[in-house]
Amino acid sequence: MLSNFWSALAKYLEKQPYWPAVQPFFLVAFAAVAFEVAAYQYVRARYGATTIPLFLGSYLSVRILVAAAALLLLMLLFRFNPQRQLPPVPGRVVAFFRAHRTAIVYRGLATLLVLVATGLVFLATSPGRARPITIRIMDLPADVASDALTYLVYELNRPQRQWYFEIDARPFNELALTSVERDACAKDEQPLLCHTERTADAQGPLIAITSRPLNGVYFATHRGLASVITTADAASYAPLTNYEYLAYLIVIQSMLIQLDAHGGRPADAFEPRTMASGGAFEFVPGRDMLKATMLAPRLSPEQEALIFNRFGPSYLRVCSDLLSLDWLYTARTKQNLKLFGVTLSR
Amino acid sequence: MTRRSLLVAVVVMTALVFAAGRRSAGSVAGGVNPSIAYDGDVRGPDGREQYRFTIEVERVMFRLLAVQNRYSLVRLRMQNSTSAPLALSADKDRLELVVKGGAPVPAVLNLQRGDSAWWDSLDPGMRETLAYPVTLRGVPAPAGGEPQRSPESLYFYAFFPSSAARELPAGFAYTIASLGRTIRIEHRAAAAAN
C-alpha cells in the first residue's frame, strides 16, 4: 500500500513543471530520512531499547539532519550564479578562471562556510569519552571483605569496553596530602570529601569508601571528580547488604563524576526536596527511602537523553544495566560471591 | 677394637650434631654483606609470631647519605600474621634509633607536620610512598580447610635527623600505640648473643 502511494506520488510529481528543479532536494531529504531510520535501527539493535524521542533528540539524529541541511544549502547556493556566463575558451585554464572568477570565488567561499559550520556542529555534539575511575578504600565495615568488594568492582567492569573502575590497593592515607591541603580540608564542612578531592586532583577521578559517618550526609557526597560513600547508615537499607548498597552507589557516583567531568551534571541532581519519584539522581528525602530507590532504580527520559548525548549509546546501555543491579543477582555472581563467604539479601 | 671404634664414632657424631645445632654461619669466601639486619617480633600467648619488624641498614650509605642533608633514611618492613588489621598512627606511634651510649633519636613519622615545607614540595606519588601508613592489613583466617596464608606485609620509610643519627644504630625501639607496647628491633647477632 505504501509502495502504491509512493508510485502515485512520484508520477504526480514527475508531471509537475517544477519537478526537475526540486528533484535533487527531494532526493537529499529522502536520503536523510532513510539515514535516520537506519541509524535508529542500528542503535536499537546494537545497544538495546532506545525510544524514538530519545534517538531524535540525540547527537546522531542532529548530525544527520545538519549534514543533510548543509548539502541542501550548498545545492541551493550553487544554483545561484552571480556572474553572467561567458563562453569558456577550451583548453585555457587561466582564461576559464578569469571568465568565471566571481562564480568560483563565491562557490568556494560558500562551500567553505557551510563545511566549517557543519564541522562546528559536529564538534559541539561529539560525545565525550568516559574516564577510568579509581576506587580507594578508607576503611571498610566489619561485614565487607576487600577481596569480595574487589570482585564486585571487576564484575562492574565486565560489560564495559571503553572505561573501567580501578581499585587502588593502598589504604587511603590523609598524611599523603600537603600541609596546605590538610589545613584547607580541616576547615571544609566535609573533610573526607575534601581529602578525596585533593587526591583526585593528583590521580584523577576517585571514589572513596569509608565506614565513618559523613558530616550531615547519610550515604554519599560528591564534588567535581571526587565522591565519598559511607556505610555508616547501613541500618537504613537493611536487609540489603553493604555489597548491594556499595555496588549501587559506586555506579551512581561514577555517573555523576563522568557527567561533572564533561560539564553535564543535571542541574537538579540531588537538589534537596521533600518529594521523590525514585530517580537515580534524586535527593532521598528520607533515609529509609534509599532502599526503595535501590530496588527500583531508573533513569528519567531527560537523564537518558543527557547521558546518551554526553557519552553515546554504549555508555547509556552499560549504565542502565549496571544501575539495575540485575547483574548482581545472576546465579553466576551469587555463586562466585559465596567463594568469598558473601550471601546477598535476595 | 670394634667397641673402641664404635665409641669414637659415637663421640664424633655427637660433636657434629652439637656443632650443627649451633647454626654458626661463616662463609669460606665471598663478599662481606654491607648491610646490618635488625629484627623484632611480637608473639602471642601461645608463642606464635603475630608481628615481625625488619630493618636493614647499609653501613656505608647510612653514614654518607642524607635526604636534603637533614635525614637519614631507614626502611622498615612490617608483617602481620594475625587476622586483625594493625592500626598505625603517625601521631601516637614512636620509632627511636638506639645508639650505644647516647640518647635515642626519634624518627619524624609525620613529615606533613614535622617538615611541611619539604613535604609540600614532593610530588603526590612520592608523598603517597613516604607517608606513614595508617594500617597494616591482617590475614583472613582460613576457612573450611583452606591453606594458611602468608603474613601481610608493608614497607615504610623512617626519617631520622641525620645530625643526631651519625653512628650506626645499635637497635631500634618501636612503640605502636594500638598494641600498647614497645618492640625492640635489634641486630640479629646481638639478639642471638643475648
Higher pLDDT, B193 or A57: A57
- Whole-number pLDDT of residue B19: 47
Question: Are residues A178 and B120, on separate chains, in Cβ contact within 8 Å?
Answer: yes
- Whole-number pLDDT of residue A183: 93
- Does B133 touch chain A if contact means CB atoms closer than 8 Å? yes
pTM recorded for the entire structure: 0.78
User: CB-CB: which of A147, A173, A182 is closest to B128?
Assistant: A173
Q: Is the dihedral of CA A146, A314, A228, A194 positive or negative?
A: positive
**Does A346 reside within a domain?**
no
Tell me: do A75 and A163 sit in the same domain.
no
**Does A2 reside within a domain?**
no
- Does B146 touch chain A if contact means CB atoms closer than 8 Å? no
CB atoms within 10 A of CB A179: 16
Reported as a pLDDT band with limits 50, 70 and 90, residue A91 is: low
Mean of the per-residue pLDDT values of chain A: 88
Cα–Cα distance, A318 to A155 (Å, whole number): 12
User: In a structure prediction context, what are the per-residue pLDDT tens digits for chain B, which is 194 residues long?
Assistant: 456 666 666 666 555 445 444 444 555 656 667 789 999 999 999 999 999 999 999 988 888 888 988 999 999 999 999 988 999 999 999 999 998 888 999 999 999 999 999 999 999 999 999 999 999 988 877 766 677 788 989 999 999 998 887 788 999 999 999 999 999 999 876 555 55
Tell me: do A150 and A273 sit in the same domain.
yes
pLDDT at A41 over 80: yes
- Which residues in chain B are closer than 8 Å to A171, comparing Cβ atoms? 133-135, 137
Tell me: do A310 and A171 sit in the same domain.
yes
Burial class (CB in 10 A: 0-12, 13-18, 19+), A267: exposed
Question: Are residues A179 and B127, on separate chains, in Cβ contact within 8 Å?
Answer: no
- A·B CB contacts under 8 A: 45
**Residue of chain A whose Cα is closest to the Cα of B135:** A171
User: What average pLDDT does this structure show over A249-274?
Assistant: 86
Question: Are residues B131 and A176, on separate chains, in Cβ contact within 8 Å?
Answer: yes
Q: In Å, how far are A100, A164, A192, A275, B152 from B111, measured between CA atoms?
A: 77, 34, 20, 48, 25
Reported as a pLDDT band with limits 50, 70 and 90, residue A49 is: low
Tell me: do A329 and A246 sit in the same domain.
yes
Question: Are residues A173 and B119, on separate chains, in Cβ contact within 8 Å?
Answer: no
Tell me: do A109 and A175 sit in the same domain.
no
Please tell me the total count of domains within chain A. 2
Domain edge (last residue) among A69, A92, A124 = A124
**Residue of chain A whose Cα is closest to the Cα of B137:** A171
- Whole-number pLDDT of residue A267: 76
The whole domain housing A219 covers: 133-338
Q: What is the pLDDT of residues A11-39, one digit of tens each?
A: 888 888 888 888 889 899 999 999 999 99
Tell me: do A200 and A260 sit in the same domain.
yes
- Whole-number pLDDT of residue A179: 94
Domain edge (last residue) among A75, A102, A124 = A124
Reported as a pLDDT band with limits 50, 70 and 90, residue A93 is: confident
Tell me: do A119 and A138 sit in the same domain.
no
Question: Are residues A175 and B112, on separate chains, in Cβ contact within 8 Å?
Answer: yes
| Residues B57 and B169 sit within 8 Å (Cβ to Cβ) | yes
- Which residues in chain B are closer than 8 Å to A196, comparing Cβ atoms? none
Tell me: do A101 and A147 sit in the same domain.
no
- Whole-number pLDDT of residue B22: 47
Q: In Å, how far are A193, A266, A326 from A255, measured between CA atoms?
A: 17, 11, 18
**Does A9 reside within a domain?**
no
- Whole-number pLDDT of residue B172: 96
**Does A4 reside within a domain?**
no
- Which residues in chain A are closer than 8 Å to B131, comparing Cβ atoms? 173, 175-176
- Whole-number pLDDT of residue B33: 72
Question: Are residues B116 and A170, on separate chains, in Cβ contact within 8 Å?
Answer: no
A-contacting residues in B 107-126 (Cβ below 8 Å): 110, 112-113, 116, 119-120, 124-125
- A101-124 and A59-79 are packed helices; what angle lies between their axes, rounded to 10 degrees? 170
- Whole-number pLDDT of residue B20: 47
Calculate how close chain B gets to A170, using CA atoms only, in Å.
9
Tell me: do A270 and A166 sit in the same domain.
yes
- Whole-number pLDDT of residue B29: 57
User: CB-CB: which of A173, A179, A199 is closest to B116?
Assistant: A179
User: CB-CB: which of A139, A173, A202 is closest to B131?
Assistant: A173
- Whole-number pLDDT of residue B115: 93
Q: In this structure, what C-alpha cell is assigned to residue A120?
A: 562546528
Tell me: do A50 and A144 sit in the same domain.
no
**Does A343 reside within a domain?**
no
- Whole-number pLDDT of residue B74: 93
- Does B64 touch chain A if contact means CB atoms closer than 8 Å? no
User: What average pLDDT does this structure show over A233-259?
Assistant: 94
Residue A251's CATH number: 3.40.390
- Whole-number pLDDT of residue A302: 85
Reported as a pLDDT band with limits 50, 70 and 90, residue A144 is: very high
Residue that has been written with the C-alpha cell 609470631 in this structure: B49
**Does A191 reside within a domain?**
yes
Domain edge (last residue) among A84, A101, A124 = A124
- Whole-number pLDDT of residue B21: 47
Question: Are residues A175 and B110, on separate chains, in Cβ contact within 8 Å?
Answer: yes
Reported as a pLDDT band with limits 50, 70 and 90, residue A182 is: very high
Tell me: do A216 and A107 sit in the same domain.
no
| Residues A68 and A74 sit within 8 Å (Cβ to Cβ) | no
**Does A3 reside within a domain?**
no
Reported as a pLDDT band with limits 50, 70 and 90, residue A77 is: confident
**Does A307 reside within a domain?**
yes
- Whole-number pLDDT of residue B6: 63
Tell me: do A305 and A165 sit in the same domain.
yes
Q: What is the pLDDT of residues A203-216, one digit of tens each?
A: 899 999 999 999 88
Calculate how close chain A gets to B146, using CA atoms only, in Å.
11
